[in-house]
Chains A and B, each alone.
Chain A
Amino acid sequence: EIVMTQSPATLSVSPGERATLSCWASQSVNTNLAWYQQKLGQTPRLLVYGASTRATGIPARFSGSGSGAEFILTISSLRSEDSGMYFCQQYENWPYTFGQGTNLEIK
């Protein structure tokens, strides 16, 4: 099983600034990596897949990068509505696995 590890567990950033979220895989997942946002009480929303392809309707403020075992989600010009949990997920191999999440707080 591929273990996904996210860092940091909690990130507090001011509005207008940039947030950088990291995700590591225990082995290469090539670019078979997705990022999701989940706000409190809501369903997860796909932000990025293929490590860097934004999903439909996702603003350009959200950008993904990386390949192999190291990935980054960057959120620029932070807004209050960006607060929530962010999860990475690999779909290179079954079982598909998620990271434990980063809790993004907007100051």
Chain B
Amino acid sequence: QVHLVESGGSLVKPGGSLRLSCAASGFIFSDYNMNWIRQAPGKGLEWVAYISITSSTINYADSVKGRFTLSRDNAKNSLYLQMDSLRAEDTAVYYCARGVDSWADAFDVWGQGTKVTVSS
């Protein structure tokens, strides 16, 4: 069965750091582009970052550029999001999601999400 499981979310003070992880199983992780999407409490969906299969292309939303770093380890079937200089507006549930196809970044598999709260 295809699964994505996020971890690493917690309560952190403004200016702090967190590292989110996403563990993939049930599919060939190295065949798929991966993304992070977040959802603030009671709000809609916001795409955060994208990484291609070989990590040759990485893109970020302007709201996180320069503060977040996305990486993957295909040997470990894992995706990572290093989050630095966190702000209150980064408070959200963070989902990792798989691109449905190498040419289509619609997200067909989502994790259950990990909650990040930035507050003093």
Contact = CB atoms under 8 A, between A and B. Distances in A.
B108 A94 contact: no
Contacts of A89: 45, 47, 106-107
Nearest to A49: B106
Interface stretch (A13-21, A65-73, A74-82, A96-104): A96-104
A95 B47 contact: yes
Contacts of A97: 47
Contacts of B61: 95
Nearest to B99: A91
Q: Provide the main secondary structure of the chain B interface.
A: strand
A44 B112 CA distance: 9
Please tell me the size bucket of the interface on B.
20 to 34
A96 B104 contact: no
Interface in A41-100: 43-46, 49-50, 55-56, 85, 87, 89, 91, 94-100
Contact of A98 (B44, B50, B59, B111): B44
A100 B59 CA distance: 22
Residue among A36, A56, A94, A99 facing the most chain B CB atoms (10 A cut-off): A94
B108 A98 contact: no
Contacts of A38: 45
A23 interface: no
Q: Provide the main secondary structure of the chain A interface.
A: loop
B104 A49 contact: yes
Interface string B101-120: 00011111011110000000
A32 B100 CA distance: 12
Interface in B65-120: 95, 100, 104-108, 110-113
B82 to A, nearest CB: 19
Interface of B: 35, 37, 44-47, 50, 59-62, 95, 100, 104-108, 110-113
Given A94-B59, A95-B59, A96-B35, 6 more contacts: A43-B113, A49-B104, A50-B104, A91-B106, A96-B50, A100-B44
